[in-house]
Structure 1
């Protein structure tokens, strides 16, 4: 009888420790899940890049450039890299335009004959929207604000690449398109003898992120 009682006691002790270990393991697991669920992604300021590709001649010859300065004016972060973009606001000084033209002629012409004929020519600004895993930006140019859908891709939770195509007609900027085409008439004339500047502009942005 004593042997049975002793064995029963030992079983209770082992069961007690087993339950405590299971409870402890569950608590550690729950803590890890809470930690993972509360991880936040935020934008690394002064690391974003914005480039563009415009087109000339009827053959649609690409002319690329970038803006060297992007100012993040509002950022709240998010639980995923994409959500970190939601509500993010930015402004781009047009004066930071750079097209890597060795002649040094193109940038001043764009500033004077393209951006210079727009309303509020100093800045391009915008605000990101994220909904149902889709991203867009309310982009303000030429005193007009319109929504531009964007494709997005994430690399290693550290960078989001955004691409889109804007049609300058939507921002009532055809006067600017015609102005730069006239100023660069010869350079924008193709083999067919037609001078053309396209209203389509392809955009590419890279946004760097950090996780906390």
Structure 2
């Protein structure tokens, strides 16, 4: 799993779910970043990317996944910054999966395929620091946007948790968001009768190092 990594759930999927897809998060003991260099040699294993999107006025949570992505540029090292900085990813939007084929079709065709150059979502890790923060870039809809992320390391399993939140409007994707909302009108209408699909998506990347 060093080159082509299966990625469970990544950036910017917006579900048309009839029901909330609340996922039970794995409880782990994490420690704040202290030192990027250690006696341990970091080696890239499994990568999981989870996301949470929101619908209805009450911001009901929904989720999904990408089944695959290509990750390049990871360097085995005892310095986390050396290992991760510069890593790039390439995610085929056709690998969208929400455990509902009809919903997957809507996400791919009404959201991604109404954008510019959306066969893949691409990006890279720009930097990571000792204070539990870092910066990454995401390319989508013909726009590159940089985002700050937070990170923690599970010192027992050597899993790194990278967390950020995005707003798809920053990628000028309002028309795509509206198109998806239109085909999922019933599912995105809450108990108050209002049709709402939020542009915000929370993302957690878990990488086994």
Report which structure shows greater RCO (CA 8 Å, sep ≥6). Answer: 2
Tell me whether the two structures share a fold, i.e. TM-score over 0.5.
yes
Matched, 1:165 2:145: no
Structure 1 moving runs of 4+ over 4 Å: 36-39
Q: CA deviation at 1:80?
A: 2.9
Q: Mind listing any 5+ residue stretches in structure 2 that lack a counterpart? A: 1-36
Equivalent in the alignment of 1:41: 42
Aligned residues: 170
Equivalent in the alignment of 2:189: 189
Q: Mind listing any 5+ residue stretches in structure 1 that lack a counterpart? A: 1-35
Q: Is the 8 A contact 1:49 1:68 kept in 2?
A: no
Q: Is the 8 A contact 1:76 1:87 kept in 2?
A: no
Question: Residue 109 and residue 165 in structure 1: after superposition, are their counterparts in 2 closer, same or farther (change >3 A)?
Answer: same
**What SS class does the counterpart of residue 105 from structure 1 fall into?**
helix
Q: What CA distance in whole angstroms lies between the structure 2 residues aligned with 1:171 and 1:188?
A: 22
Equivalent in 105, 109, 112 of residue 108 of structure 1: 105
CA RMSD, Structure 1 to Structure 2 (Å)? 1.9
TM-score, structure 1 normalization: 0.74
Q: Is the 8 A contact 1:83 1:130 kept in 2?
A: no
Higher Cα radius of gyration = 1
Relative to its length, the structure with more helix (as a share) is 1
TM-score, structure 2 normalization: 0.75
Equivalent in the alignment of 1:12: none
Q: What CA distance in whole angstroms lies between the structure 2 residues aligned with 1:79 and 1:130?
A: 16
